[in-house]
Amino acid sequence: MSITTLLILACIGVFAGIVSGMIGIGGGLIIVPSLLYLLGVNQFGAQGTSIAAMLPPIGILAAYNYHRADAVNWKYALIISATFIIGGYLGSKLTINFISESALKKIFGVLMLIGAIKMIFFSK
């Protein structure tokens, strides 16, 4: 791995961590597009790498800060976490086995666009 690639990966990680700590997103919004466009990783590889990268640090310190501010509903978080494991497994199996990379890029883009439009025009 070149020093340039290492620096790009480190910048992606820091920026994704900052955005995740601020607004709760980072993988889909920062890591996936960065891997695609800065390092030329394919869509499957970008999504898989993003998921793998988030396993250990998914927000341990950010969650701790929110917990200290009494801003975490632990019951909700545990239920979502447990079911997220099942959903992540099913989603990855379906994606890898039944969706082409070009279709996956379109699905990813449409979901990002819908989310952006909703946030811009329909949030209070």
Q: What is the mean pLDDT of residues 100-111?
A: 88
Per-residue pLDDT of 40-99, as tens digits, reads 999 888 888 888 888 777 768 878 888 899 988 889 888 878 887 888 888 889 888 998
Stated pTM of the model: 0.66
Quote the Cα angle for 75-59-52, to 5°.
110
* Cβ–Cβ under 8 Å, residues 30 and 16: yes
Considering only CA atoms, which of 53, 76, 50, 52 is closest in space to residue 63? 76
Residue 22 has pLDDT above 70, yes or no: no
Per-residue confidence at 100, pLDDT binned at 50, 70, 90? Answer: very high
Record the tokens describing residue 124, joined without a space: 């209070």
3-state secondary structure of 16: helix
Q: pLDDT at position 111, please? A: 82
